[in-house]
Amino acid sequence: DEMGEYFQKYGNVVGLVVNRGFGFVQFESEDCAAAVLQDKHGLIHGKKIFVKPAQAGLGGQRMVPQNATKPAGVWDAEAPQAATPNPVAWPPYSRKPDFGASLMNIPPISYPSWLVVPGRNDCEIIVVSKSLTVYAEAIESHLKRLGLLVDLLYPNDDVPIGKVLGNISSRGCLYAVLVTPQNEEHRSITVNILYGQPAEHRNMPVEDAIKFIAENFREKVKRDTIASQAPLPTTPTQPLPVTPMTTTSLKDKHPDHIQSLLTILAENRMVTVLQYDKIIKYLNERREMQVKVELGDEAGVATAILEEQKEQQKQQQQEQDLQQKILSILNGPSITGSPTVNSKPPLALDNPNRDNTIRLLQDPKVQKALDTVLKSTLLQSVDVSF
């Protein structure tokens, strides 16, 4: 069926014989055959075909040769049959008219070898069920024909899709395609862009989604190629004029990439650490702007007061930690850390005195005295090791 659809554009096909690795096509007129020969080679399912006139048999008749290993027909396979994989087993619905027909006209993307990252796929297809394998493989075949490195991924049922996307993104993958039973029913897929500004395009028709990925991938390859060939910036001989930075107002809407990240968080989906950092940095900037709006000229004073309060809280916490360490040492079996002696300890260090010492340290007056000592400068000349 695919062969007939491919050659039908050149004219009325009156005969078609397809064998393993080669075939014969008979047209209604020689003009149609000449048009095929003029276009020469093409692609069917990502495989290049070679077109040439059929050779005459005995008696001047054009016959199918008996030697199938070295055929001489209208089109031949690109490589010897021993090295040619079996054609993709398309699902039944893909044999309906116009399914994937427009995708055959998309040229493969030229992907420079020096841009290839070893061990990284350009796209991974997330298949939630083994029953969707045939549908996913059909999509995989189209993407591979475009020049992308594609692989199928079967996550466990108990693993959230957000975690799977985060794992794929951490490996440097550019795209993730999600395939569900609903997608198979409606001939659609969900496309996730994982690089740059993350984006999700849900339930796109298959042909539109593959065209979208092809165009996006082609633009990325173009940008990467231009960036790699751009000369390194040189140090200017004269200082460049400082251009005033555009001020952002609180009335301005949030940037698109921040809105996308906030939407992902609102939907309780997973984001990466770098995306968290972007959100936190943006919110801190908005907070400083809000402080200036609310306090006006006193914003600088308020900021200084807040910083001073934070520093005081930090010092108080350090003093409390030091006090706890001193108390733990006093409550320990030995202050100096001397080695344990097997002989019986003196009566002066017996348990009754130890209990008295603990009760004494719990006295509020003693604790207040310890606080005074901690806040004084006496500890600066004492070398205390813990």
In the chain, the domains with their CATH numbers are 2-86 (3.30.70), 102-228 (3.40.50.800)
pLDDT at 248: 62
* Residue 338 pLDDT exceeds 90: no
Q: Which pLDDT belongs to residue 312?
A: 80
Whether the full predicted model's pTM is greater than 0.85, yes or no, is: no
- Could you tell me if 155 and 179 are in contact, meaning their C-beta atoms sit under 8 angstroms apart? no
Provide the 3-class DSSP secondary structure of residue 380: helix
21-25, 114-118, 146-150, 267-271: segment of lowest average pLDDT: 114-118
pLDDT at 64: 41
Is the pLDDT at 79 greater than 50? The verdict is no
pLDDT at 197: 84
Of the pLDDT bands very low, low, confident and very high (cuts 50, 70, 90), residue 234 is: low
Task: For residue 93, name the pLDDT band (cuts at 50, 70, 90).
Answer: very low
How are the residues of the chain apportioned to helix, strand and coil, as percentages rounded to the nearest 5?
Answer: 50, 15, 40
Angle at 267 between CA 169 and CA 220, to 5 degrees: 35
Sequence-ordered alpha helix ranges (H) in the chain: 2-8, 30-39, 133-145, 161-170, 181-186, 206-229, 256-266, 273-295, 299-330, 351-361, 364-375
Is the pLDDT at 100 greater than 80? The verdict is no
Mean pLDDT of 28-37: 82
User: Which of 137-146, 215-224, 286-295 comes out lowest in average pLDDT?
Assistant: 286-295
Distance of CA 230 to the CA centre of its chain: 26
Whether the Cβ atoms of residue 71 and residue 21 lie closer than 8 Å to each other: yes
Average pLDDT, whole number, for the chain?
71
Q: Which of 39-43, 68-72, 174-178, 288-292 has the lowest mean pLDDT?
A: 68-72
User: Which among 11-15, 32-36, 194-198 has the top mean pLDDT?
Assistant: 194-198
Structure-block tokens of residue 212: 């979208």
Q: What is the mean pLDDT of residues 33-60?
A: 67
CB < 8 Å & 24+ apart, contacts of 88-95: 88/45, 88/137, 88/138, 88/141, 89/134, 89/137, 90/134, 90/138, 91/134, 91/135, 91/138, 93/187, 94/138, 95/1
pLDDT of residue 74: 41
Q: Judge whether residue 160 has pLDDT over 70.
A: yes
Mean local confidence (pLDDT), 159-175: 89
Residue 152 DSSP symbol: E
Q: How far apart are CA 258 and CA 160, in angstroms?
A: 23
Phi first, then psi, for residue 71 (nearest 5°) are: -75, 160
How confident is the model at residue 97, as a pLDDT? 35
| Better pLDDT: 80 or 317 | 317
Residue with tokens 């796929």: 121
Task: List, in order, residues 6 or more apart from 130 with CB less than 8 Å away.
Answer: 154
On whether the CB atoms of residues 304 and 291 are closer than 8 A, the answer is: no
Greater confidence, 88 or 41? Answer: 41
